[in-house]
Chain A
Amino acid sequence: MLDVFASGFSGLIAGFLHLSMPNIIMIVIGGILLFLGIKKDFEPLLLVPIGFGCILVNIPLADLMEPGGFLRTIYEAGIMTELFPLLIFVGIGAMTDFEPVLENPITFLLGAAGQFGIFLTLALALALGFKELEAVSIGIIGACDGPTAIYVTSQYAPHLLGAVSVAAYSYMSLVPLIQPPIMRALTTEKERTTVMKAHKKTVSPTTKLLFPLVITILGGLIAPKGLPLLGTIMLGNLMRESGAVERLTKASQNEIANVVTLLLGISIGATMDGRVFLQPQTLIVLCLGFIAICLDTACGVFLGKVLYVFTGGKVNPLIGAAGISAFPMSARVVMREGQKYNKKNYLLMHAMGANAGGQIGSVIAAAVMLSVLKGMGII
């Protein structure tokens, strides 16, 4: 009888007995992510479920990520099938107004320059000894776009998914801290005070409607392996611009995006098992991700400087920093930075153009990357 009591009691303390140091560290990290999301308002929609998922998966013996476990089921249904990032993209497309980039299509190029960090970081990761597909997944953090990073990494380096997605989302939320020093270091005060003329409305509804179709067809033909990414974001945008399916647009912007964000976040958190996550490799991935976003900003500002010279000083180089996918946060950072040096300088709409270009640019960069890999026979 006493033996049965003892074995019954052992079931209640088994969790404590199996709690390892990596688990404890990861529970603390989960707590930090929750703190950043809840108290510091850093991407709370993602950091809260990620942080909580991280805590859940590090509680021993719950088997949440074992076959049949509830986190494993969500992970396999949405991440391994790539469904969650794609559904998020439908929502992003439905939420984003691409008019600022259409007002001034040259800002597409700023969106391209903002992707240099992806490819430079990929080269750096290769130099540090990562395998080809791991380097691709690390480089993609430079897209500054969580769903794109998850889409690529879940296919080609699933063991890095936790590190890559945490890096992507953390650095996205830290854009207001990361970008300004780089912008200041690379520009002169004269360049920063450049006033850009306000846009006149020049985009017709027909052009806005044709935009998602043209981008999908052209982008799909150039980089078919990335069509799921491009197609879903453009489907969302087509629904928005057509005005014909308001219910679907609203559902994509709200219910679908919200539910998928929750499931995506908790699944990513579930990949942060201390036994797998706490490795030197993770720290290197986080460092490389930081470098990628710094390089994106620097390359964007450099192209801004080139445009400043070629237009005879009509383009403020600061808007180049917004050529990344952190929309509209990066545009706001540019606006704030510009106004520090000239209170009458309203760069927001110009920066929004570059920022919308960066959003398309990050998807195109990922699509091109996948198609080049396919062309080389690596995937």
Chain B
Amino acid sequence: MDKFTFGMTMLVVGMGGTLLTLGVMSAIMTVLKKVFPYKAESNSENKS
């Protein structure tokens, strides 16, 4: 593999993969925040 192909692969797949992974993580954390909302949990803690 020549250096140009290697560099382009790292740039596109590497950076693309990083953006995609962090994008997916961002989406999952948004969903988790909705599934486990802050207030509901603190209310249940107060009841106990």
Residues of A within 8 A of B (CB): 102, 105-106, 108-109, 111-112, 115-116, 118-120, 122-123, 126-127, 132, 135-136, 139, 201-207, 210-211, 214-215, 218-219, 222-223, 357, 360-361, 364-365, 368-369, 371-372, 376, 378
Contacts and interface: CB of A to CB of B under 8 A. Distances in A.
Given A122-B11, A126-B7, A369-B10, A201 B38 contact: yes
B30 A105 contact: yes
Contacts of B10: 119, 122-123, 136, 139, 369, 372
Nearest to B16: A368
Contacts, number: 120
Contacts of B14: 118-119, 122, 365, 368-369, 372
Contacts of B37: 202, 204
Contacts of A122: 7, 10-11, 14
B47 interface: no
Interface in B7-48: 7-11, 13-15, 17-19, 21-30, 32-33, 36-38, 40-42
B18 A120 contact: no
16 contacts: A105-B26, A108-B23, A108-B25, A108-B29, A132-B3, A202-B37, A203-B38, A207-B38, A214-B32, A218-B24, A218-B25, A222-B17, A223-B21, A361-B22, A364-B18, A369-B14
B21 A102 contact: no
A123 B28 contact: no
A255 to B, nearest CB: 31
Interface residues of B, number: 33
A211 B33 CA distance: 10
A357 B21 contact: no
Contact of A214 (B11, B13, B18, B25): B25
Contacts of B7: 122-123, 126-127, 135
Contacts of A111: 22
A201 B25 CA distance: 20
Contacts of A364: 18, 21-22, 25
B5 to A, nearest CB: 9
B38 A108 contact: no
Nearest to B4: A126
B32 A207 contact: yes
B23 A376 contact: no
Contacts of A126: 3-4, 6-7
Nearest to B40: A204
Contacts of A112: 18-19, 22-23
Contacts of A135: 7
Contacts of A371: 17
A201 B37 CA distance: 10
B25 to A, nearest CB: 6
Contacts of B26: 105-106, 108-109
Contacts of B24: 218
A211 B18 CA distance: 18
Contacts of A204: 33, 36-38, 40-42
A115 B37 CA distance: 31
A106 B33 CA distance: 13
Contacts of B28: 214, 218
Contacts of B41: 204-206
A105 B1 CA distance: 38
Contact of B33 (A105, A118, A127): A105
Contacts of B4: 126
A92 to B, nearest CB: 18
Considering the complex of A and B, which 5 residue pairs feature the smallest CB-CB distances, nearest first?
A108-B26, A206-B36, A368-B17, A105-B26, A112-B22
